[in-house]
Amino acid sequence: MADEICSHMEALGGQLKHPKELVCEECIKTGGDWVHLRTCQTCGATLCCDNSRAKHMTKHFHQTGHPVIISAEPGEQWLWCYKDNLFAEYS
């Protein structure tokens, strides 16, 4: 885990939830497409990023309050906390 992390990241205890499938769970219902994928660290939902038209992950945060996501993109190893606006890389 990175050095500078918030309490929400710390609460994960280093156990990250990775995407089950590399699709946005909401976009596939409506036939929409997405740019990048993120995985919610509270419930494991994989949803699309803010560069995607539907911004499903940000909507998910506003609906659920689940604070921490990771990038679901292969090769990217970072977390983001919506509540603290904090970015952290992990190895």
Binding stretches for Zn ion (CB under 5 A): 6, 8, 24, 26-27, 34, 40, 42-43, 45, 48, 54, 56, 66, 81, 83-84
Nearest of 63, 61, 65 to residue 50 by alpha carbon: 61
Closest separation between CB of residue 3 and Zn ion, Å?
Answer: 15
Q: How many CA atoms lie within 13 A of 35 on its CB side?
A: 8
Minimum distance of Zn ion from residue 88's CB (angstroms): 10
Smallest separation (angstroms) from Zn ion to the CB of 18: 14
Which CB atom, from 66 or from 72, has the smaller least distance to Zn ion?
A: 66
Q: Backbone phi, then psi, for 17, in 5-degree steps?
A: -90, 125
- DSSP code for 61: H
